[in-house]
Chains A and B, each alone.
Chain A
Amino acid sequence: SAVISQKPSRDICQRGTSLTIQCQVDSQVTMMFWYRQQPGQSLTLIATANQGSEATYESGFVIDKFPISRPNLTFSTLTVSNMSPEDSSIYLCSVREEDYGYTFGSGTRLTVV
C-alpha cells in the first residue's frame, strides 16, 4: 500500500497566523482527502483533493479558511488560515488506492495559542 509522509508532525502556532501541512505519497494516486480530528473526537472530512480539479469542500469548511493545493498525483498541501484556538486539532491526509484501500498520514497535531 501507499506510504504517506506528512509534515509537520506537530506545531504550536499563534492565533491569526497560518500553517501549511504537506503530504507526500510514494506512488501516484488520484484521490486524496483531508480530515480534521478535534480533541477527543472522530475524523471529519474537510475536503477531497483530486489532481487537476478544484478541491471539493464539505459542509462547514470553506476554501478561504482551508485552501488546498494538489499540483500532481503524489503531493498535496492543506493550509489552515487565520488560526484561532478552535482550530487546534489533528489534521490527517488520506489516499484511496485502486484496490479500495485507504491509507492515512501520521497526522499533524496543531495547537493554536
Chain B
Amino acid sequence: AQSVTQPDIHITVSEGASLELRCNYSYGATPYLFWYVQSPGQGLQLLLKYFSGDTLVQGIKGFEAEFKRSQSSFNLRKPSVHWSDAAEYFCAAPGPGANNLFFGTGTRLTVIP
C-alpha cells in the first residue's frame, strides 16, 4: 500500500536559517510526489510537485525539493526561512491505482526571531 511518512512532527528554526523537512515514501514505481503548505486557518497551497525528469524541483516561495530514489525520499528545503513560513507542511502522493492523494502526517514549522 502507498505510504508517505513525515518523521518530524514539529520543527523549530530561527528566521534566516536553512530548513529541511523530511518525507519518505514506500512505492515501487516512480511516484508522483507533492508538497503542500497549510497556514493557520487556511486551505492547502501547492508548493511543488515531482512527476519525472530533473530530480531537483523548484517551487514557489523559494522552496525546492529533491527526489532521491535510493533513499525513497523527497525532502523539502529552503535556504533562508522567513517568519511567514510558519505553517503546517504536508507531503503527499497518490497510491498505486488510486486517483486521490494520500497525505503524510504533516510537519509543523515554527519560526523564531
Q: Determine whether A66 belongs to the interface, using a CB cutoff of 8 Å to chain B.
A: no
CB distance from A7 to the nearest CB of B (A): 13
A104-B43 in contact (CB<8A): yes
On chain A, the number of residues with a Cβ less than 8 Å from chain B's Cβ atoms is 21
CB distance from A30 to the nearest CB of B (A): 9
Interface SS of chain A: helix, strand, loop or mixed? strand
Question: Which residues of B, 66-97, contact A by the 8 Å Cβ criterion?
Answer: 90, 92
Q: Determine whether A33 belongs to the interface, using a CB cutoff of 8 Å to chain B.
A: yes
Question: Which residues of B, 15-66, contact A by the 8 Å Cβ criterion?
Answer: 32, 34, 36, 41-46, 49, 51
A103-B46 in contact (CB<8A): yes
Q: Determine whether B101 belongs to the interface, using a CB cutoff of 8 Å to chain A.
A: yes
Chain A residues in 8 Å Cβ range of B45: 104
Question: Which residues of A, 54-113, contact B by the 8 Å Cβ criterion?
Answer: 92, 94, 96, 100-107, 109
Contacts A42-B105, A100-B51 given: A105-B43 contact, CB under 8 Å? Answer: yes
Pick the contact of B103: A42, A48, A106, A107 (CB < 8 A).
A42
A100-B43 in contact (CB<8A): no
Determine the distance from Cα of A50 to Cα of B46 in the docked complex, in whole angstroms. Answer: 22
CB distance from B17 to the nearest CB of A (A): 25
A104-B44 in contact (CB<8A): yes
CB distance from A66 to the nearest CB of B (A): 15
Q: Determine whether A19 belongs to the interface, using a CB cutoff of 8 Å to chain B.
A: no
Q: What are 21 A-B interface contacts by the 8 Å CB criterion?
A: A6-B43, A31-B100, A33-B99, A42-B90, A42-B103, A42-B106, A43-B44, A43-B101, A43-B103, A45-B100, A45-B102, A92-B43, A100-B32, A101-B46, A102-B46, A102-B92, A102-B101, A103-B46, A104-B36, A105-B43, A107-B42
